Structure formats: structure tokens, C-alpha cells
Amino acid sequence: MRCIYCQNYSISQLGEGTETSNEDLAKMMLSLQEQGCHNINIVTPTHVVPQILSALEMAIERGLNIPLVYNTGGYDSVETLKIIDKVFDIYMPDMKYGDKTTAAKLSKVSNYPKINQDAVLEMHRQVGDLVLDGNGIAQRGLLIRHLVLPENLAGTEKGKKPNRGKKPDVIPPKKGF
């Protein structure tokens, strides 16, 4: 996707950032755990799933045991998600658009609503509803972020329609929020 409002534009579009080896990524994860982080949050991981799986294997062998979060824009193939079934504890996808015209205009992908709904259903199949610990910290499950755009441009109402009768439990936002 090439969202016109991307908060990570310099990284995702301009190639800024630092490349790292799978070994170093594993060490970073373990270091974060040692520092008391509640989870390992992998952001926009779809295009580097093989490398992430390699790093996770190393880190888990060395004691990584905090929840793993797959933090995504929600434009993920079900095939890729099936490859990582039983790897991630929490899925945190965006639900950006319920309307393909808006998706094409703002993110250059007209099939976003269909891909997104199928992906979210697969994610929910894998991890279920969100489970919090006694401190309100997510341990497992699906946590959906819904993009809110001015004048309902995201097509929120279209995105709430059930997909083939299967839908994760959703707590709708309060009106006027």
C-alpha cells in the first residue's frame, strides 16, 4: 500500500532506517524483554515474514516468552497469515476502509476492503477475542484499529457489515467520540 497519510513514510517509501540481521533482531527482542517490555510489537511485518520467523526462532530458543504482536495495516493475504498460525499471540490490524473507491484513492489498493475482512477473520480464527491480564495488558487475541477519517470517508458503516456471517466480537466506538 502507499497511503497518502502514512506516518512511517520516510521508512516505508524512502527507504530510511537501518537494516539488521536476523541474529541482531533476535538480540533486540531479548533485550526488550530484559528491560521489562510487555510484548514484542512487530510493525508492518508482512514483507519480511521469513526473516522475522528466523529471528523469532533464535530468540525463543534463548528464552523469549512475552507476547508477540503482529501490527499490520490489515492488507495481508490469508495464505501468509496461515504460515504464521500459532506464532503470534496478538494481531493488531488496521481496518482503514469499508469502501474500495476510497481505498484506491488514499492507499492505491481498491481491493483493500475484501482483503482486509478476509485477513481479520483469519486472524480472529487464530487468536480469538482479546484477552487482558489483571493490569489491562493484552496477552492474546485480536485488537482492531479502525481508521477514522473526516466526513466518514473511511466508510465505517460499510466496514461493519458481517462477512459471511462470521465476525469477531467488536465494541463499537461511542457516538461523538
**pLDDT tens per residue across span 94-114:** 888 888 887 777 777 888 899
Residue 173 has pLDDT above 50, yes or no: no
pTM: 0.81
SS3 of the chain: helix, strand, coil, percent, to 5: 40, 15, 45
Residue-level pLDDT at 28: 98
Residue-level pLDDT at 130: 97
Percent above pLDDT 70 for the chain: 75
* Domains observed in the chain: 20-153 (3.20.20.70)
Residue 172 has pLDDT above 80, yes or no: no
Residue appearing with cell numbers 496477552: 139
Name the nearest CA neighbour of 95 among 87, 81, 107: 107
**Three-state DSSP class for residue 141:** strand
| Secondary structure element (H or E) that encloses residue 70, with its range | strand 68-72
Measured distance CA(33)–CA(37) in Å, rounded: 5
Measured distance CA(120)–CA(133) in Å, rounded: 23
Residue-level pLDDT at 9: 47
- Cβ burial, residue 143 (10 Å; 0-12/13-18/19+): middle
pLDDT, tens only, 29-85: 999 999 999 999 998 888 899 999 999 999 999 999 999 999 998 999 999 999 999
Measured distance CA(119)–CA(114) in Å, rounded: 8
Q: Which residue has the higher pLDDT, 71 or 2?
A: 71
Average pLDDT of 115-121? 95
The full DSSP string for 73-139 is -S---HHHHHHTTTT-SEEEEEE--S-HHHHHHHHS-TTHHHHHHHHHHHHHHHH-B-EE-TTS-EE
pLDDT, tens only, 119-136: 999 999 999 999 999 999
Q: Which residue has the higher pLDDT, 160 or 89?
A: 89
Residue-level pLDDT at 42: 94
